[in-house]
Amino acid sequence: MSQQADSSVMTTSVTLISGLVLLAVVLFMAAALISVVGHVAPDDNSRRQAAALERIKPVARVSFEQPKPAVAVKLSGAEVYNKVCAACHTAGTLGAPKVGDKAQWETRLAQGLDTLVTHSVSGLRAMPAKGGDPSLTEANLKDAIGYMLDQTGIKTEASATAPAPAPAAAAPAPAPTVTAAPAKPAAAVAAPPAQPAVTAAPAKTATAPVIPPPPIQVPKATPPAFIQGAPVPAK
pLDDT for 129-148, tens place per residue? Answer: 988 888 889 999 999 999 99
Write the CA distances from 39 to 44, 47, 63, 106, integer angstroms.
11, 16, 44, 80
Same domain, 151 and 101: yes
Mean pLDDT of 182-203: 50
Are 80 and 136 in contact, with CB atoms under 8 Å apart?
yes
Write the single-letter amino acid at 82: N
Q: How confident is the model at residue 162 (pLDDT cuts 50, 70, 90)?
A: low
Provide the number of structural domains found in the chain. Answer: 2
Same domain, 86 and 148: yes
Same domain, 24 and 98: no
Same domain, 35 and 88: no
Distance, in Å, from the CA atom of 129 to the CA atom of 123, rounded to the nearest integer, reads 4
Among candidate residues 106, 130, 161, the one where a domain is terminated: 161
Q: Among the listed ranges 63-77, 154-168, 174-188, 206-220, which one has the minimum average pLDDT value?
A: 174-188
Higher pLDDT, 128 or 232: 128
CATH label of the domain that carries residue 112: 1.10.760.10
pLDDT exceeds cutoff 60 at 235: no
pLDDT for 40-94, tens place per residue? Answer: 555 677 888 888 888 888 887 787 877 776 666 688 989 999 999 999 998 888 8
Distance, in Å, from the CA atom of 67 to the CA atom of 46, rounded to the nearest integer, reads 35
Domain boundaries, position 6 = 1-39
Same domain, 25 and 84: no
Q: Does a structural domain hold residue 92?
A: yes
Among candidate residues 161, 190, 222, the one where a domain is terminated: 161
pLDDT for 94-107, tens place per residue? Answer: 888 999 999 999 98
Q: Does a structural domain hold residue 230?
A: no
Cα torsion 19, 25, 28, 33: sign: negative
Q: Strand, coil or helix: what is 127?
A: strand
